[in-house]
Chain A
Amino acid sequence: MISYLIIDDEHIAHDIIKGYCKMLPNLKFKADCYDAIEAIDYLNKHDVDLIFLDLNMPKLKGFEFLKTLASPPKVIVTTAYSEFAIEGYELNVVDYLLKPFSFERFLSAINKVTSSNSSKIKKENNVNLKSEEKYIFLKQNNSHIQVDLDSILFIEASGNYTKVMTIKEIITIREKISNTIQLLSETEFIQVHKSFAVAKKHINSIEGNRIYIENYIVPIGKLYKTNINQLFK
């Protein structure tokens, strides 16, 4: 899950961002701030992974605010001013969105956040694999079932539960799909739909909007096409 904070003095800009984020599975809204002072107050007490930052605000401008943070979270700038993009590079912002921006453009900014996140996890996972963590325990009802990571074909969300399809059985665990993916391995699994993530190595073929795995057919969500395209690179 990526938790986010919106800093913008125009309230409709908040609505637009929140509306976009609702369409994405792994973004968690934390707070609305209407100027940088409010944001500093909030960040003193809470942690967030991502900030949507407007630049032109009362009292403290966006970039000045950013400079005050010792270890800033990831930042996506949203502004009507194109002339500060260079300064954005110097401050290491993830992306720079010019208002008004489309959902597609917004999504590619979010993908930049998630891809830089998963590369971090990738490193951690490599360490894990060396220590031979190829098995995990999944809790179904009252039993803990040991599962070989290699045998998992794909996982499917169903309400508050996630179904884990392995070669020989189906295990239903009480966990959200986004948490389950992190529990498994983000390098081996790829989310292809709001409710589906598949194991890369078990994919037989991909045709249009479908993925064929063993005897199953898994749909590909519109928003996750880019994830699939990365497989072909």
Chain B
Amino acid sequence: MLVIIGVVIVVFNDIFGKVEGFVEFIALYFIIIFITIAHWLFKQIKAVIRLKNEKSKTELLHLKSQVNPHFFFNMLNNLYGLVDKDSKKAQKLILKLSDMMRYSIYEGDKDTVLLSEEISYLENYIELHKMRYHKVIDVQFNIDTNNNDYEIMPLLFIILLENAFKHGVENLRENAYVHVYIKAQNSEVNFEIENNFDPSEDKHEEGIGIKNLKRRLELVYPKKHTLTLSITDAIYNAKLNILL
């Protein structure tokens, strides 16, 4: 660069032989250089921002939970057995299962869904789980939405519900319970779930599901959500609060 400038200076000194012309030329030269650099920088920054957006979008897509495949296979096995014994009930459950599959495949890809759709998805999940086990489980599902519907990112709550069944109900031989409470008002959605578990069986280390949930909340509801997970004795409690 310096060499080029030096050569240019020598050449212009020869041509004009005057200082004024040379100064004008140098000023022009630096302005052009500056504009070029600014333009290049602007383009780079724009590309970085675009890349970042795309990254968070694909990350979000990647993080979107899919219902545990084992759940589907176990349900299919139960339906397989139920067809002979109680075909009416089997038909009912097949519809519930297909509703769930359709929802997690198609609605799960959307940016937002209606809270009421999300709730019926959770209800189907609970219904199907109830028929699985020989043991009796106490599941309570309370909804307080004042008939308001909200738009919300899909498949957030199912992660917490799935965990309650996986770490609680599945590992307990008896007296398992899962209590769910959903409240929606003033553009605020509260989701609370509580379940008991066997402390000797489950260490309750943070799994990939919760990690993904946290990351998704950060990407979509930055500084507009709180997620509190707490363990007391043999009871696990999760509270998720989202400001819409």
Chain A interface residues toward B at CB < 8 A: 9-13, 15-16, 19, 34-35, 37, 56, 58-59, 80-81, 98-100
Contact = CB atoms under 8 A, between A and B. Distances in A.
Contacts of A11: 133-134
Contacts, number: 60
A59 B81 contact: no
15 contacts: A9-B170, A10-B78, A10-B132, A12-B132, A15-B81, A15-B85, A16-B77, A16-B80, A19-B84, A37-B173, A58-B172, A58-B201, A59-B173, A59-B198, A100-B73
Given A12-B132, A15-B85, A100-B81, 8 more contacts: A9-B133, A10-B132, A10-B133, A16-B80, A34-B135, A56-B70, A81-B70, A99-B74
Q: Return the 3 tightest CB-CB contacts between A and B, nearest first.
A: A80-B73, A99-B77, A12-B81
Contact of A99 (B73, B133, B172, B173): B73
B70 A12 contact: no
Nearest to B176: A58
B126 interface: no
A98 B171 contact: no
Nearest to B70: A80
A99 B198 CA distance: 27
A35 B201 CA distance: 14
B82 interface: yes
Given A19-B84, A58-B173, A58-B198, A100 B134 contact: no
Contacts of B70: 56, 80-81
Interface in B100-138: 131-135
B134 A10 contact: yes
Nearest to B82: A12
Nearest to A15: B81
A99 B173 CA distance: 22
Nearest to A32: B134
B76 interface: yes
Interface string B55-99: 000000000000000100110111011101100000000000000
Nearest to B69: A80
